[in-house]
Amino acid sequence: MNKWLYLDDEPCSGYLNMATDEFLLERVERGGGAPVLRLYSFQPPAVTIGFHQAAHRAVDVEALRRDGIDLVRRITGGRALLHDGEITYSLAAPLDAKVFGSGLRETFLSISRALVRSLAILGVEAQVAPGPNHTRKVEKSGPCLASASRYELTVRGKKIAGSAQRRKKTSFLQHGSILLDRTSAGITSYLAKSFDSWGEFITSLSEETGAKMETREVKRIIRDGFADTFGVDFKELRFSPEERARIRTRAWEKAEEFSSPAPTGGRSHDDISA
């Protein structure tokens, strides 16, 4: 049976989380090797924005600072997302890993199938949103979770997990948020433009199972769903002290991007519709 690597991180800051994902992608890009599955959460809560989003046009940076919510840029596409009451997965793998099929769409689809299997273990019957290019556009400047893009997960038409991807020359990383409860709906308080009543578009594991979900248990089930779907075993990934230092340095850089009183960091685009 093929071995993949598994990283079960303790809750940590958005800066460290995004730095770790970026590091994992570069690690696979440099050295290939086995895919790495990572499951993590955010402490304190953080808002991540898409790679090309202009922060000050996407979110209320002052309000985030006031409420102690970190703001950090993802290396992937899409829009603003509040990481609170959710579990995030990330998967970094070589592009030539045949297990994900060929091309971008098959990669999305195969990972979505693993997530469907994971949710099924929890008794939640999720569907993969239709492709290609299907996006239920609520509003272009709305939050990430307000629309289900192709191959994302829905339950009874409501989004329960959202994913985004980065592709380099020989590797990709896909990460995504699986909602434990509705806390992440609080993103609407922090959007630069007002955006009301999108709660009808989302659901969560707690709502679908009628039980409060424990992070540790959900992580174990997601890991099992990936193992079953792809027919793999996991071996724990441990970073060397040097690797940890590099990740910390990168996390500092990410924290710096929005640390000035009037951040101008970021690109010029606030209208990412994906």
Q: Which residues are catalytic?
A: 144
DSSP class of residue 33 equals: -
Three-class SS of residue 149?
Answer: coil
For CA atoms 99, 105, 108, 112, the dihedral sign is negative
Indicate the residue among 253 and 271 with the shorter CB distance to another protein. 271
CB of 244 to another protein, least distance (A): 26
Residues that bind another protein (CB under 8 A): 50-52, 75-78, 102-105, 131-133, 135, 149-150, 162-169, 267, 269, 271-274
Helix intervals (H) in 38-175: 55-58, 61-66, 103-121
**Rounded CA separation 255/236 (Å):** 28
Nearer Cβ to another protein (43/135): 135
CA distance 24 to 42: 17
Alpha carbon 76 to chain centroid, angstroms: 9
Smallest separation, CB 192 to another protein (Å)? 17
Cβ-in-10-Å burial (0-12, 13-18, 19+) of 98 comes to: exposed
Choose between 52 and 182: whose C-beta lies nearer to another protein.
Answer: 52
> Do residues 268 and 54 lie in contact, with contact meaning Cβ atoms separated by under 8 Å?
yes
Say which DSSP state 57 is in.
H
Which pair of tokens denotes residue 171?
Answer: 């590797």
Q: Write down the least CB distance from residue 78 to another protein, Å.
A: 4
Q: Which is nearer to another protein, 102 or 249 (CB)?
A: 102
The minimum distance between CB 164 and another protein, in angstroms, equals: 4
